[in-house]
Amino acid sequence: MCGICGYVGIREDGLLERMTAALTHRGPDSAGYFRSEDAGLGHRRLSIIDVAGGHQPMENEDGSLVLIANGEVYNFRELREELLARGHRFRTKSDCEVILHLYEELGPECLQRMLGMWALAIYDKNRRRLFLARDRLGIKPLYYVDLNGRFLFASEFKAILRYQGFQPTLNPLAVHEYLALRYVPGPGGMFRELRKLPAGHYAIVEDGRVSLTRYWTPQLYDGPFERSEQSYLEEFAERFERSVKRRMISEVPLGAYLSGGLDSSTIVAVMSKQVTHPLRTFTVGFEYEHDELEQAAATAQALGCSHTEIRWRASDVALLPKVIYHLDEPLGDPIVIPMYMLAAEAKKHVTVILTGEGADETLAGYLFHRALLAGHRLGRVVPRWARRSLLAPALALVPSALLNRAFEYPARLGRRGEQKIADFLDLLAPEQLEDAYRHLISLFDARDTADLYTNDFRRALASAPASSNEQAIVHSRAPFLNRVLYLQFAHWLSEDILTKQDKMSMAHAIEGRVPFLDHELVEFVLRVPPSLKIRNGQSKFLLREYARRLLPAQVTSRRKMPFYVPLEKYAAEPVFQEMLEDTLSPRGLLSRGIVRPEAVARLRRAMQQGEFIFVKQAFSLVALELWFRMAVDRRGVHGAV
């Protein structure tokens, strides 16, 4: 695990060193550089495999190819044996050197043979060609800008900002998308010039041109589903256990995050069988009724783990500026703060951590999965006029307390949340999957932004080109739930879930590995019938059945509890109020020309009611202003906050 950066078509003294220095937190063990007449590659190393010898950049036998890479190739030993048999000579025992020789042998097709996670760059000196690639699911990040033949790339955008010839311009559509989704969907970014190399793609930069190619796409399967449940269960068990074992390859200490829930507990159960010493596990808890510290400690004890726990305090909101600095882009989910804290604690004991990201996204673990599935079934039998004239008014008669009981978060759903449900009922036609999906996950929807945006920002949005790659699967014959899961792969998984995982762990030079996102396991799960994902209103049925072999019944049968920061409990705390006063003020976000002061004032009054949505909206605006200070005002860009 490392940080990589570089450029072609640029000659600027000291640029490569400045870019590489911006990534020091990702790779504190060493730095390495390659320079040619108008190209440069920089590398910061976090030593995991071949600790003594795996320094980068690496060159092939004749010195024509130069590699820098971030990530791990889990099948490198098998590939190495193949390459040795073909006559390749290795200088190290590193998994990254295998990439270099495999590319020499196969070119871009080498990516099809690799299992793991990566963002990599290979420079061909003879052809003056740069090859970039990102892993299939986007576990590792890679940003780039193309400035009329001057091309720069990096693991984190802050490294690109070190180029003095880059004067970025704000992308209003990205701001709008962020406020709706709480993350910035790719392939663009918060600046018009910024791009994210999409998951499952590679890029070739040659003769001043950039060409992108998609080399992997998760395949939707439309049936028939004729296998027995037991056969699906046995194949899942085999693939999942293989995935966990692959991700335990390391020459440095490793451990796991353990929330006490189903996903992380299952990972830890499999890991515990592979070690001869107590596995290190780590948990963060919160001071509210749904705290999982007790459950995590009980699971750790049952599995013989050496367990560490930390606790979120209201004062930890003050970490948010540091968190936004490391995220590189605004992300309106307060869970990033405890993730940052947990990585800091884990780093005291281990360098590699296995985490549960991807289970909910592949096995339908979220409340909105169940809501979309139920809504889809309803929409097929109840016409729109009946939903609009009968169901929506009936919903208004349901007591709020009853709705809150169905809401799996501890916060109150509130009036605005109930309104979103009513709007959702209007979007249940089978051809409106994307609209219904987006409505359920949106934080600021059209009703909110009608009041929130200034006239100037509306005009900027109107002139911005729209972009989306989510429309292609509407008419697939695959089961509805599998189409919803596929839709998440378009952006949310790589640009939200995995961005948080990578940036918060690498802020403390700790490598996060995600067993549920082994691409072979993902391909299998997308072929599993929906009845093995959601059954009788219970999520992740297949995983629960498998976990019964490994875990106590209280873990496999308990209701899913989201990994959730109870920010509404702390909204009145002085530290949060001070941050609101600082960021949502005339000297803060109100000076950016995006949001109306009257709308922000109304939001601040509404959030005092403790409603889930209003508090999250306020937090997202705070995160946006902190990003402006870091990336636009350049506070903290030339050194960690």
Give catalytic residue positions. Answer: 5
DSSP 70-113: EEEETTHHHHHHHHHHTT---SS--HHHHHHHHHHHHGGGGGGG
Q: How far apart are CA 433 and CA 430, in angstroms?
A: 6
* CATH class of domain segment(s) 229-364+488-556: alpha beta
Is the domain covering 2-214 a CATH 3.60.20.10 domain? yes
| Residue 96 neighbours by CB distance under 10 Å | 27
- Domain ranges (residues) in the chain: 2-214, 229-364+488-556, 367-485
Average model confidence (pLDDT) across the chain = 88
The pLDDT of residue 388 is 54
Contacts of residue 483, Cβ cutoff 8 Å, sequence gap at least 6:
220, 433, 473, 474, 476
| pLDDT tens per residue, range 511-557 | 999 999 999 999 999 999 999 999 988 899 999 999 999 998 877 77
Sort 301 into a burial class: Cβ within 10 Å, 0-12 / 13-18 / 19+: exposed
- What pLDDT score was predicted for residue 640? 43
Closest CA to 213 of 226, 195, 199: 199
Higher-confidence residue of 422 and 374: namely 374
Asked which of 35-44, 254-263, 409-418, 480-489 is least confident by mean pLDDT, the reply is 409-418
pTM of the complete model: 0.92
State yes or no: pLDDT of 317 exceeds 80.
yes
Which helix (H) or strand (E) segment holds residue 166: the answer is none
Query: What was the pLDDT predicted at 203?
Result: 99
Measured over all CA atoms, what is the biggest interatomic distance in the chain, rounded to whole angstroms?
76
Residue 95 corresponds to which amino acid?
Answer: D
The 10s digit of each residue's pLDDT in 449-502 is 999 999 999 999 998 776 544 444 445 678 888 888 888 887 789 999 999 999
The mean-pLDDT minimum among 49-53, 142-146, 429-433, 633-637 falls in 429-433
Peptide bond preceding 562 in cis form (omega within 30 of 0): no
Domains 2-214 and 229-364+488-556 share a fold: no
